[in-house]
Structures are given as C-alpha cells and as structure tokens.
Structure 1
Amino acid sequence: MDDFTRILTQSLAELIAPTTAAFALAAIGLNLHFGYTGLLNMGQAGFMLLGAYGFGIATIAGAPFLLALLVAIGAGIVFALILGIPTLKLRGDYLAIVTISAAEIVRWLGRSTVFQEWTGGASGLLGKTYKESFQALSFLPEGRTAIGPLEYINNGSDSWWTRLFAWGLVLLAVLFVWLVTRSPWGRVLKGIREDEDAVRALGKNVYAMKMQALVLGGALGALGGVLYVLPSAITPDAMGRTMTFFTWTVLLLGGAATLFGPVLGSMLFFFVYMALRTGMRTGLGDVLGSTKVEQIGGILVGVTLMLLVIFRPQGILGNKKELAFHGH
C-alpha cells in the first residue's frame, strides 16, 4: 500500500510540476503552428533551447528578469524568421524537414566549444548563475508549505513560487490564444489550415499570416524553454529531439486546434508517464534496472503517439470534423 501511495503522490506532484507547465506552454505555441495554421513544426525544442539560452545569457550578463524574458522571446522570434522566410512559400512537409534540422543545429551549436564562453558547451549553464533575479521577485514568505500530500519550499528552484509563476504564464498564454483565435485574424489562420488557395483567392497574404503564426508560436515555445530551466539548469542535450517528440504527444493527446488541449494533454501525459516509470521502478526495478525502465517508458510514449495518430488524431478534446491528419 505504501508503494501505491508513493507512486500516486509522485504522479500528482508531476501534474503541477514546472516541467509540465513548460511543455504545456510549448504545446500551446505548437498548437498555433499546427492546430490552427497547419504548419508542421518538428523543431519546437529549438525554440525552447534558444529561449532558455537567451534568458540565461542575458541574466548572467546582468539583465533584470523582465528584460531577460524579452531577450528569450526575441530569440524565438528571430529563429522563426530565419526558418520561415525561406520555407513558408513551400508546402508543409518542407517546413517539417527544415525545423527538425534547425533544432538539431541549435543543440549542436550549444554543445560546441565555439560558443562555450556564453553557452557553457556540453555542460551547459548552472542554474545558480541565472536564477537569482527570478527568485528575488517572489512575494511568498520563507519556509515550507504543504497542500494535501504535496509539500515544497516556498522559495527556491523546486518551489511553490516557481510553480505559481509557471502556471500563471500558461494561463496567460491560454487567454492570449483564446483572444487571437476568436479574432478575424484567427479565423483566417483556420482557413489557411483547411485550404490556403481559397484564402489566397480572397486576397489575403497567406505567407505573411503563416509567418505571424510561426513567430507567435515560436515566442511561446521560447517562454516554455525558460520555464523548463527555471527549476534546473540549461543543458543542450536535455532539449533535443525527445523534447519535440514529447511536445507533439502532449498536443495530440489533449487535442490540436483546441484551447485547453495542450494544458490537459501535458498534465495527463506527465501524470501517466510518472506513474508508469515509478510503478516499473518499484515493481521491476530489481529485474530491469533503472536504464531499461527509462527506455521502456520511451517506447510506451512512442506507441501511445502512434495509436493516437491512428485511432484518435483529434485528441481528447478535439473535433474530428475540424481536424484530422489527412487534412494536411
């Protein structure tokens, strides 16, 4: 019974973890790309890593927290422009190839010794070098607080303050997407997803609209990267292909082209993923070892994504009439 309680508590903790919020925010950005506009961005991890580097490097250079956040957003915007200008006039598959390659280039540049002075190379940047300005903003008293079975320090890396800020940012992003997708601009985006030639025939600049969607989603992805590194450190290898893969799983699980799909998908995905990993470690850890448990967890995520795409491409909250994979 104790094992079951421990597994449940760890899984509940994952529901509100800053990492879960980071993936929710990245998936909200990806939702603007894919769900609303039909852009196949396979390199969201690149936006997240650039956002994290922008924030970390700016903070270490002495920038206040809000300015460092703006630098992170700026990094995401520049990356979107570099990717979008040559590819958005092409059909969707080309963007997928370019984005997955570009995200890998960003990761390898982060790892390389060329920029080691700023990025820390393969070792990355230690959390203590860029977290102080964020922690200084906390209005919570010192000490620890327990809410139900979950207990954390009020201030610090793995704290209630980090969680409050992370989920507050996710709520703001949801509100932002709600406002823009209800606007005429948002309705044109959905039109581009369904039939861009028809939208072009109406006199709309499809290229400009796609670019705007790519920039906005990329900026949200960059902010997701900031949330991801606030409780930990900036390491390029932690923000690679697997991160994009998880972000897609989160989006498709919750439902693309839905407002709360990315948030629900992220919470459900990480709750189940943590329950599986902790359960396997408890039950099979002695037999398999922790490395194999992680590998089996990754395999199960892959199988889940395949089954989602085959049997329920619209996700939990999605509407099949509005969005299906064959529409792209």
Structure 2
Amino acid sequence: MNFLFTLFQDGGAAIISATTAAFAIAAIGLNVHFGYTGLVNIGQAGFMLLGAYGLAITIEFGGPLWLGVIVGLAAAALFALILGIPTLRLRGDYLAIVTIAAAEIIRIVGGDQSLAPVTGGVAGIAGSRYSGEFIALSPFPKSGLFTIGPWTYPYSAGNSWWLSLVGWAVAALCALVVFLLFRSPWGRTIRGIREDEDAVRSLGKNVYLYKIQSLVLGGVIGALGGMVFALGASVQPDALGRTTTFLLYTTLLLGGAATVLGPVLGSFLYFIFVVWLQDVVTQFVPSSIMNQQQIPEFTYILVGVGLMLLVIFRPQGILGNKKELSFGA
C-alpha cells in the first residue's frame, strides 16, 4: 500500500513539475516544425538554450525580466533566420544534420571557458543569479512551503508552486496559439506544404517563406520552454544538449504529432513513466544487481526501446492521425 502511494505521489509530482511544463512547451514548438510543417529539426534544444541564456544574461547584466524574455525570444528568432535562410531548401536527413550541428554549436559556444564571464562556461549560470525578479512577481509568500495533498513545494522560490503555475499557463497559451494558427489559412498552407510542397508552390505560394515563418515560430516557442526550464534550475549548456531534443521527440511522438494536445500528453506520460520505472526498479531490484547510479541509465535504455517500438507500431502516437503524419518531408 505504501508503494502504491509512492507511485501516486511521484506521478502527481511529475505532472505538477515545471520541468514537465518546460518540455511540453518545447515539444509544442517542435510540433510546429515536425508535426505540422514536416521539418526534421534535431536542434530544438538549441532554441531552448538560447532562450535560457537570453533571459539569464540580460538579467545578470542589469536588465529587467521583461527585457530578458524579449532578448531570449529575439535570439531564438534570429537563430532560426540564420539557420533557415540557407538550409530550408534542404529536405529530410540533410536538414536534420544541419539542425543538430547548429544546436551543438550553441551548446559548445555556451560552454566555452573563454566566455565564462558572460555565459558561465561549463558551470553555467546559477538560477539564484537571475530568478530574483521572477520570484518577486509571485503573489504568494516569498518564503515557506505549501502543501496540497502529498505534494509540498516552496511557495515562490526555486522549483515552486509559482513556477509550476506560470509554466503550465505558458504551455496552455502556446497550445491555444498553435490551435488558432493551424485553423487559419496560414496553418492550412503549412499543412499543405507538409503533404506536398510542389502542389502548394503551384498555387503561387512562397513555400520557402512559409517554412522560415514556421521555423521562427517553433523556435520562439522552444525558447519559452528553455526559460521555464532555467527558472526552475540553472542555465547549464550540457543540460540542454542532444539528449534533450531526442526526449522532446519521444514526448511528441508518444502524444501524437500534428495534434494540439499531443505534446502535452506526451510530456505527462514520459515523465510519469520515468519516475514510476525508477520507483519500481528501486523497490524490486536488489542493489547488488542494479545500484542507484545505474537506474537512470537503465531507464533511458527502456525509453529508447519504447521509442523504437512506438515508431514501428504506432507512429501517429496516442492522439495522432496516421494519415496526417509525414516523416520525410
């Protein structure tokens, strides 16, 4: 009975978590690229990192929170333009190679020790150095803990109720914007490009320009996810590397690409699965067979196997429509 309560508590914590919200937001942005437009972007973590750095560096150098948000979004938009203008004529695997290389450039530059006075280098930028103004905006007490059922978190500081509330509000807003955009003529054109861009081009549409707009939109949403992630932790380049993008694809494909709520559902299920699996292994597998350091690695192995099976047997995910899915646009 205690073990079942632990599963309930940890699963609920995964749903509440601002980290889950951050991944849901970034996956919504990736859904704009991959699910709706057919762009195989393997560099979404780069957009998250730019958003996090833009927010943190601006505040650390004396700027207000609102300016940090604008700088982070602008950095992501500029990166999308620099990346997209020369490369969006590429398709499929070639675009994937370019985007993953571009994201790696962002990560390596961020971790360069010669830039440590600005980016913090490999150590990154501690959250305490830029989260003060965000905490000050909280309507809740600035210190102390608050308990709802079995879940206890700080009111405002760190990974708090305030951050979770803001994170999920941003996720809901992003989902609403995507829902409205892809019901508009612009969104229908984007869907058409995913299905057959030559047919859309024959109708007089500038396919190249639409793709750039989609890349910018998804990148900006990804930057918002990076900001939420950074406000709950720190800005550390290796924390938002290649693995992050692959996890975003896992959440997107699990929930369903080209659906509004697919990225959100996928984030819920992914993080619940991870914490439940760790609980089960900790409870039933002796430490002589698998120690605490090996459990996360074993979890990622099973996630990888699960992703392969998902792509093979249900590529449309839980909410997706297989007729709408296009892997090689």
- The TM-score bracket by the shorter chain reads over 0.9
SS in 2 for 1:98: helix
Question: How do 1:301-312 residues align onto structure 2 when only pairs under 5 Å count?
Answer: 301-312=303-314
Question: How do 1:160-309 residues align onto structure 2 when only pairs under 5 Å count?
Answer: 160-284=161-285, 286-287=287-288, 288-309=290-311
The corresponding residue for 1:114 is: 114
Q: For 1:90 and 1:160, locate their aligned partners in 2 and report how far apart those are by CA, in whole Å.
A: 43
Identity percentage of aligned residues: 55
The corresponding residue for 1:31 is: 31
Q: Cα distance 1:285–1:65, how it changes in 2: closer, same or farther (>3 A)?
A: farther
2:194·2:326 contact (CA, 8 Å) conserved in 1? no
The corresponding residue for 1:131 is: 131
Matched AA of 1:201: S
Q: Cα distance 1:296–1:147, how it changes in 2: closer, same or farther (>3 A)?
A: same
Question: How do 1:55-70 residues align onto structure 2 when only pairs under 5 Å count?
Answer: 55-70=55-70
Matched AA of 1:303: V
Q: For 1:97 and 1:155, locate their aligned partners in 2 and report how far apart those are by CA, in whole Å.
A: 41
Q: For 1:67 and 1:144, locate their aligned partners in 2 and report how far apart those are by CA, in whole Å.
A: 30
Which runs of no fewer than 5 residues in structure 2 stay unpaired?
none
Matched AA of 1:281: T
Q: For 1:96 and 1:320, locate their aligned partners in 2 and report how far apart those are by CA, in whole Å.
A: 22
CA displacement at 1:79 relative to structure 2: 1.1
CA displacement at 1:10 relative to structure 2: 1.5
CA displacement at 1:297 relative to structure 2: 0.6
Say whether 1:7 aligns with 2:12: no
CA displacement at 1:146 relative to structure 2: 1.9
Q: For 1:11 and 1:178, locate their aligned partners in 2 and report how far apart those are by CA, in whole Å.
A: 28
CA deviations 1:183-219 (Å, max 9, x no partner) are 1000000000000000000000000000000000000
1:314·1:324 contact (CA, 8 Å) conserved in 2? no
Q: Cα distance 1:285–1:86, how it changes in 2: closer, same or farther (>3 A)?
A: farther
SS in 2 for 1:203: coil
CA displacement at 1:269 relative to structure 2: 0.8
Q: For 2:232 and 2:267, locate their aligned partners in 1 and report how far apart those are by CA, in whole Å.
A: 18
Q: For 1:96 and 1:282, locate their aligned partners in 2 and report how far apart those are by CA, in whole Å.
A: 40
Matched AA of 2:189: V
The corresponding residue for 1:145 is: 146
Matched AA of 2:318: I
Q: For 1:104 and 1:39, locate their aligned partners in 2 and report how far apart those are by CA, in whole Å.
A: 18
SS in 2 for 1:145: strand
Matched AA of 2:24: A
CA displacement at 1:324 relative to structure 2: 4.5
CA displacement at 1:23 relative to structure 2: 0.5
2:195·2:326 contact (CA, 8 Å) conserved in 1? no
CA deviations 1:125-181 (Å, max 9, x no partner) are 111001001111101235432222212121111211010010010011011101110
The corresponding residue for 1:89 is: 89
SS in 2 for 1:286: coil
CA displacement at 1:53 relative to structure 2: 0.7
CA deviations 1:5-64 (Å, max 9, x no partner) are 223311210111011000000000000001110000001111111111111001101111
CA deviations 1:203-262 (Å, max 9, x no partner) are 000000000000000000111111111111111111111100100000000000001000
Q: Cα distance 1:239–1:190, how it changes in 2: closer, same or farther (>3 A)?
A: same
1:20·1:267 contact (CA, 8 Å) conserved in 2? yes
Mean CA deviation greater in 4-13 or 304-313: 4-13
Moved over 6 A (4+): none
Matched AA of 1:135: I
